[in-house]
Amino acid sequence: MRWKCVAVCLLAGVGMFLAGPVQASSRDETFVIVREQGPNSLDIMGIGTNRPAYGLSWNVYDRLVTYGKKRHPSGTRMYDYEKIEPELAESWSISDDGKTLVFHLRKDAVFHDGSPVTAEDVKWSFDRAVSVGGFPSFQMSAGSMTNPEQFTVLDAHTIKVTLPRRDKLALPNLGTPVPAVINAKLARQHATDKDPWALEWLKNNDAGSGAYTVGAYKPGVEVVYRRFENWKSGPKPALKTVIERTVPSAATRRAMLERGDVDMSFDLSPKDAADMSQNTKIKVLGQPIENCMWFIDMNVTKSPFDNLKVRQAVAYAVPYEAIFETAAYRQGAILYGASSPVPQNADWPQPYAFHTDLEKARQLLVEAGFPDGFETTLSYNLGTATWGEPAALLLQENLKKIGIVTTIEKVPGSNWRTEMGKKNMPLLVDNMGGWLNYADYFFYWNYHSQNGVFNTMSYQNKVMDRYIDAARTTDDPDVYRTNIIQCIAMANADAPRLPLFQPNLDAAMQKNIENYTYWFHRQVDYRDILKK
């Protein structure tokens, strides 16, 4: 009864909310979207900022560069990771040795308060990104940017980036959400000695130059975006107002869309994607998420998961098929059951050599010194419970069969990133997708000893580090392939992470919605969307 009441109230609330904005601007200029989890911050560089906040940053802030567009074989419009295009930078040059990048900013760009965008703003923003620590700093390091001294203002509209070595990921990395350009003068006004980067203020305030301003922000409820009429970094968006509402219930989101109360339901559950594809009154667009997987992580610094045989026991206790059936409704690609732990190629992601074998799992526990099993916690993100909860429950059931008793910890989505950063969870179910579609990028984020936020395994292996670094810095395809194969083989052998499946990203929308684009950050770009 409680969920029924919530659904009715939310539907009524949407109707009341729509009455104002739709009357204020024509219906084809207002877009209403519902999703399971909303942004917990306006600051992409903030501590614990969640994935939905990437989309907010993408629409509210500009970056120096962006990506072109192409069509996926399925027909879905998507970004083109091989094509870098201008955004705030109208042009750039790269030195012959690949160590110096010079960007020339467009001279007509302004922030939302009307002040001009300058190279000083870019430098302050990049200085901030490499200095605040955590996810933002690690993201910048993926392009070999780690020190404020690497960013030099040449004049009001020219900035130089100096790298310690050639890094093929440096330029593409500047097109990801993190290197957003912030209004430095405005942010500094709210900085303090204890908070020199204005983290507290920027968490709840807009200091961007992007296509949209933040008209209203209510964490856990809604975000209202207003078109910025003086945006200079791209074509003027067709949508004047975007209303993004957080609706935890998948059934309620589906009802809203099918009733015509909203324009889009984003990041569908696999079941809804399959079912709604049969509804001729709406359309569902989606594709496999590149460089992405759902997985089970074991923290190798926490006993008993510091024992390889324990990790292998868990690997053979996982009910892979049941999870793929129940959590993914077989929408995606399996990442288990490879015929050999030795990979034959560098394709990524690819299946690991694990399958369900409870008898083998019990024997491995005995060999590990745990004949009677043990107790532990099993965590998942409530913000992605549609996928994570069935996976966690099925895993809990099978682990109990071999003597491992788990207590499930449901972590609120707004806190998940913070908990990840603490690296205290011994066993968890989660997903991760590398923004840049390269295997070495995924391994750098997840397996490298620098221990980025996504290395919730706390895995450290200097040999693996050398393979990752060699792959990142080489221009030789054969050297690259050799090193990636070694990374995959070592990940199989050490088993800190157990891949489950590669998921799809699906969005359902009204028939009149055009130009939805799949992006690597798995968020909606409102700048191109049309209502016909």
By the 8 A CB rule, do 46 and 203 touch?
yes
Helix or strand holding residue 378 (H, E): strand 374-381
CB-based burial of residue 155 (10 Å sphere; 0-12 exposed, 13-18 middle, 19+ buried)? exposed
Structure tokens at 406: 């788990």
Could you tell me the pTM of the whole model?
A: 0.81
- Dihedral (Cα; 240, 510, 254, 274), 10-degree rounding: -130
Architecture of domain 36-246: 3-Layer(aba) Sandwich (3.40)
- With tokens 């990442």, the residue in question is 335
Structure tokens at 361: 């799992």
Q: How far apart are CA 139 and CA 128, in angstroms?
A: 12
Q: How far apart are CA 290 and CA 293, in angstroms?
A: 9
289 beta partners: none
Neighbours of 307 (CB within 10 A): 18
Q: How far apart are CA 435 and CA 429, in angstroms?
A: 20
Nearest to 276 by CA among 76, 508, 75: 508
* pLDDT profile of the chain (532 residues), mean per 10: 37 40 61 94 92 96 96 87 95 96 98 98 98 91 95 98 92 96 98 97 98 96 97 96 94 94 92 89 90 97 98 98 93 93 94 97 98 98 91 98 98 90 95 90 92 87 95 91 97 97 94 95 96 92
Helix (H, G, I), strand (E, B) or coil at 429: strand
Q: Locate CATH 3.40.190.10 in the chain.
A: 36-246
- Dihedral (Cα; 521, 523, 527, 529), 10-degree rounding: 130
Q: Specify whether the backbone of 170 is left (phi greater than 0), alpha (psi in -120 to 50) or beta.
A: alpha
DSSP state of 114: S
Nearest to 203 by CA among 65, 341, 44: 44
Q: How far apart are CA 12 and CA 14, in angstroms?
A: 5
Structure tokens at 402: 């071999």
Nearest to 382 by CA among 425, 430, 453, 325: 430
Q: How many residues does the chain have?
A: 532
Helix (H, G, I), strand (E, B) or coil at 48: coil
Pick one of 3.40.50.720, 2.30.110.10, 3.40.50.150, 3.10.105.10 as the CATH number of 292-503: 3.10.105.10
Q: Specify whether the backbone of 349 is left (phi greater than 0), alpha (psi in -120 to 50) or beta.
A: beta
Q: What are phi and psi of 37, to 5 degrees?
A: -140, 140
pLDDT attached to residue 134: 86
Nearest to 233 by CA among 390, 59, 352, 384: 59
Q: Locate CATH 3.10.105.10 in the chain.
A: 292-503
By the 8 A CB rule, do 7 and 255 touch?
yes
Q: Say if strands 513-514 and 292-298 run parallel, antiparallel, or are unpaired.
A: unpaired
Q: How far apart are CA 387 and CA 22, in angstroms?
A: 34
Q: How far apart are CA 315 and CA 519, in angstroms?
A: 32
Q: How far apart are CA 173 and CA 175, in angstroms?
A: 5
- Dihedral (Cα; 399, 400, 402, 404), 10-degree rounding: 70
- With tokens 């050599």, the residue in question is 353
Neighbours of 407 (CB within 10 A): 10
DSSP state of 424: -
pLDDT attached to residue 461: 96
Q: How far apart are CA 117 and CA 181, in angstroms?
A: 8
Q: How far apart are CA 339 and CA 356, in angstroms?
A: 13
In sign, the C-alpha dihedral spanning 57, 62, 65, 70 is positive
Contacts of 231 (CB under 8 A, 6+ apart): 209, 210, 211, 237
How far is CA 220 from its chain centroid? 18
